[in-house]
Amino acid sequence: MKRIVLSLGGSVLVPDLESHRITGYASVLAEISGRHRLAVVVGGGGEARRYITAARKLGIDDGTADDLGILVTRLNATLLAGALGEAAYPRIATTYDEAAGYASCGKIVVMGGVIPGQTTDAVAALLAERIRADLLVNATSVDAIYSADPKKEPRAKRQDRLTPARLRDILSVDRLKAGESTVFDMVAARILERSGVPLAVLDGRDPAILRQAILEGEFSGTLVTAGKKSPFPLE
Ligand code: UTP
């Protein structure tokens, strides 16, 4: 039994409220929790971005706009926890201490954002560090990390394997382009580097890809580790 933290992008789980992937994810996550200890950090997706844009247009400061984003991540987290039913701890954790406490009951812990100035990837990385997770998984809306943004750089190479330092290099180039969200949060990458928790970035648009990696050991995506050892298959 391994400890796994999953960063589940809001744009992956709830692209919009009318066509979400909550049902598909709930069954895969419940199955995973039968074999491993699982905590899920849910993102805000398009809805969070819409609230943040509306807040900016009203002249509201960025910290308050972030608070709105956090509220949306918790709304999405509440939907997921509800769909998980008995498999999940019934409260959404709002701090790392709460999450660590809830985890001791053996059910799936669900949380959203915590404080302004970061994204839920950072929350997931900090939680993974706190609970000494064996693996951090980032389920996102691309199939892997590339050497540059493949939409703008046709020669960008898919990366099967990266060190945390190389991940930071790739992210820092991306960050120079203002206002663009990156495949993984820079704060999260720094936490990962110090904690040494392995990161698996995979395509979250199909929950079967997560199931295959965690339960069958067939991982496809980008693995970020300091050493050569792969965490897959998870024993
Ligand atoms: P997300 O983590 O969803 O951002 O948080 P994201 O990476 O842009 O989106 P997806 O979900 O992967 O598509 C949404 C917003 O909530 C605020 C930030 O403003 C963030 O952009 N937030 C979230 C915080 O301020 N602190 C947190 O701990 C989490």
Determine, yes or no, domain membership for 54. Answer: yes
| Averaged pLDDT for residues 74-97 | 97
Region of poorest pLDDT, from 74-78, 130-134, 145-149: 145-149
Cβ of 115 below 6 Å from ligand 1 = yes
Higher pLDDT, 70 or 173: 70
Nearest alpha carbon to residue 216 among 200, 198, 233:
233
Determine, yes or no, domain membership for 234. Answer: no
Residues 156, 119: Cα–Cα separation, whole Å: 25
> Regarding beta strands 158-159 and 37-42, do their DSSP bridges make them parallel or antiparallel, or are they unpaired?
unpaired
Nearest alpha carbon to residue 76 among 98, 96, 97, 48:
48
Q: Which domain holds residue 111?
A: 3-224
Residues 25, 107: Cα–Cα separation, whole Å: 16
Ligand 1 atom closest to the Cα of residue 46 is: 13
pLDDT at 219 over 60: yes
Determine, yes or no, domain membership for 174. Answer: yes
Contact 140, 203 (CB under 8 A): yes
**Model pLDDT, residue 92:** 98
Determine, yes or no, domain membership for 231. Answer: no
**Model pLDDT, residue 178:** 42
Q: What is the dihedral of CA 69, 71, 74, 75, to 10 degrees?
A: -100
What Rg, from alpha-carbon coordinates, does the chain have? 17
Region of poorest pLDDT, from 20-24, 170-174, 191-195: 170-174
**pLDDT tens digits, one per residue of 177-203:** 444 567 788 899 999 999 999 999 999
Ligand 1 atom closest to the Cα of residue 121 is: 2
Tell me which amino acid residue 199 is.
Answer: L
pLDDT at 106 over 60: yes
Q: Which two tokens stand for residue 91?
A: 């409260």
Number of structural domains in the chain: 1
- Give the CATH number for residue 193: 3.40.1160.10
In the reported structure, the alpha carbon of residue 140 is separated from the centroid of ligand 1 by a whole-number distance in angstroms of 13
**pLDDT tens digits, one per residue of 27-45:** 999 999 999 999 999 999 9
Distance of CA 38 to the CA centre of its chain: 13
| Averaged pLDDT for residues 154-160 | 92
Determine, yes or no, domain membership for 232. Answer: no
Determine, yes or no, domain membership for 212. Answer: yes
